[in-house]
Structure 1
Amino acid sequence: MIVVYRHNNGSIDAVSLNEIQDPAEHEKIVWIDIFKANEEEIKQVEILFNIKMPTKHEREEIELSSRYWEDSRSININSYFFVSFFFVENSKSHYNESVSFVLQDNILFTVRDSELQTFEIMSKMLMSNPKEFFSGYEIFMHIFDIRIDRDADLLEYASRESDEIRKKLLWEADAHSVELLRKISTLQEFTQKVRQSVFDKRRILTAMVKSPKLSQEIKQDITIMMKDLNSLVEFITIDGNTLDNLQNLFLAQTNIEQNKIIKLFTVASVVLMPPTLVASIYGMNFRFMPELGWHLGYPFSLGLMIIAGLIPLLYFRNRGWL
């Protein structure tokens, strides 16, 4: 699907590609959103606007030279957009989606394969405030600004989840479960993917601010956005350290619980050893054992076993081991 946004008598219309075959209409266009388009549709855009759109393989390249480059006519950008459904129990609920941006002749071309809330918000803003957007550069800046705000919300969500986990670890006795450890691990992956998205945008804007194709006003906006990204990077570092500490706290408290169980079994074994020794001695049934013919021999042996068990038990109790 290809949606073309163009100025029309003070407003902005969203039309299909077939409605702008006349080259005179190109000057009115500010944004062409290419969503899940097939090769034939992309080829039609390339011919109509004399442009080269990045392939899916090129959009997923991780080298910096593949994330941002310029030529005499256009600026080409491949950026990660973090997709999340605000569930951390399942790592498949969040991932990074590659989106391509091409800025040429004051038109923004976007190529994507997933529905992204950022683009829905941008479309509504564009339709409701047409006088604020005169070129594709402004639309691109707003898309990145919306995305940065979204990443900030995701990081705040991860921080709240971390606080909840910390409270459970410190105050709930039954908090040491495999599910909680899995949640910590998934939150770490969640934060790492947001970090990847934020770092990617910071690299792109750092390169973009040096472009001679941009106006001074847009460069000032980019500088402000980079400050916001730097603050997010600091927040990610703090949150990442917090999650690492939570994982260490979980493992430490798990070890403490295991040590308590081991100590309990150890004390039980030591307490039972003297009675077992007494029972073993009197269970040998040698022929010449005076106590075998004694009427009080049985209660005497039972009492001796009880006393032998109580002595180490009282000793451990006085030492504070129980």
Structure 2
Amino acid sequence: MLTRHLSAAARPADSSDIDGTWFDLVDGDAAERARAEAASGVRLPGRERLAGIELSNRVGIVDDVLRLGIPYFSPDDAAPPAPVGFVLTPRFLVSLRFAASPAFELAAERVRAAAPGTSTDAFVVLVQSIVADAADRMEAVAAEVGALSTRIFGGERRDTGLLRATLAEIGRVEARLARLRLSTTGLLRILLALREAPPAWVGQPALARLHAAQKDLEVLGEFDSQLTDKLQFLLDAVLGFINIDQNDVIKILTVASVVSIPPVILAGIWGMNFDHMPELHLPHAYPLALAAIVSSMVLPLAWFKRRGWM
């Protein structure tokens, strides 16, 4: 789908020769790509080139045409990462993506309302919208991490089923955070490269706003590191509780095996078929044998309890 966004300051015309026009191509077919190329006057890169992780595929400028790419961009918390590309000229901005994204929808609203005068202004608004969306999503992840911490260390009973569910939840949250990290890291790298060697037609005000967005991304990177460390701590805590539960089971089995040894020995001795066994001829030999067997079980249990092993 090809969408053309005009600023509020642009003239209401059907022609494409308006400075500051933004063409947004979402999973476009060959015909839509051809229309975007004809309107902007530039050749658009394919998905395979945008997905390349080498820096030469992410940033390049030829004949006043700036091509930027993010190989792994997470449009939302559900969709898998896909490449995103930007083609920026002094007059037009073309974005290439392959899934719907709330960040681009927010940018479209801001472009229509903020009246950017140039294509660079539209690109800055788009970058700022992506940063704002990433910040909101990272705040949501932080809230989920806090809820996980409360669930793990709260007062509720930590049974095996709860621990397993929590372990799966930690994996899901970490996957969301990893996809978001790929997006912010990719955007940060193209901003760093753009600020190191900006085209002559990119003004200082736009570079200053991009520098502010870069600082925001660096802060998000630090916040991401904190959340990653917190998730690792929660993962270690859950595995520790599971290990404690397993140790409790082993301890119970060990106590049961130790307690069962004396009665088995006594029953084995008195169950032997010898002709001369003095105990067999004692008065009340049977109840005495039962009492001895029970005592051989109770005494070890009492000893374990006194030592605090149970």
**SS of aligned partner of 1:26:** coil
Structure 1 residue 29: deviation in Å?
5.3
Identity over aligned pairs, percent: 26
CA distance in 2, matches of 1:308, 1:170: 41
Equivalent position of 1:127 in the other structure: 112
Q: Which residue of 1 aligns with 2:46?
A: 55
1:108 and 2:99 are equivalent in the alignment: no
Alpha-carbon distance change, 94 to 44 in structure 1, aligned in 2, over 3 angstroms:
closer
CA distance in 2, matches of 1:243, 1:316: 38
Q: Is the 8 A contact 2:90 2:201 kept in 1?
A: no
Could you tell me which amino acid in structure 1 is paired with residue 305 of structure 2? R
Indicate the RMSD between aligned Cα atoms, in angstroms: 2.0
Letter in 2 for 1:30: T
Q: What corresponds to 1:73 in structure 2?
A: 64
Q: Aligned equivalents of 1:315 and 1:84: distance in 2?
A: 60
Residue 11 of structure 1: CA displacement? 5.5
Contact 1:4 1:29 in 2 (8 A): no
For structure 2, list consecutive stretches of 5 or more residues without a partner in the other structure.
none
1:140-155 superposed matches below 5 A: 140-155=123-138
Aligned counterparts of 1:128 and 1:185: Cα–Cα separation in 2: 40
- How far has the Cα of 1:63 moved from its partner? 1.1
| CA distance 1:270–1:12, change in 2 (3 Å) | farther
Instruction: Give distance in 1, aligned partners of 2:300 and 2:79.
Output: 56
Distance across 1 between alignment mates of 2:179 and 2:60: 23
- 1:215-254 → structure 2 map (5 Å cutoff): 215-254=203-242
Query: Cα distance 1:276–1:250, how it changes in 2: closer, same or farther (>3 A)?
Result: same
Amino acid at match of 1:121: L
Structure ranking higher on relative contact order (CA contacts 8 Å, 6+ apart): 2
Structure 1 alignment gaps of length 5 or more: 86-92
1:180 correspondence with 2:166: yes
Deviant stretches of 4+, over 3 Å: 10-13
Aligned residue number for residue 277 of structure 1: 265
Q: How does 1:1-322 map to 2 (within 5 A)?
A: 1-6=1-6, 10=9, 19-20=14-15, 25-28=16-19, 30-79=21-70, 80-85=72-77, 93-129=78-114, 132-171=115-154, 172-174=156-158, 176=160, 177-209=163-195, 210-211=197-198, 212-322=200-310
CA distance in 1, matches of 2:79, 2:237: 26
Report the TM-score when normalising by structure 1. 0.88
Query: What secondary structure does 2:83 align onto?
Result: strand
Q: What TM-score comes out, normalization by structure 2 length?
A: 0.91
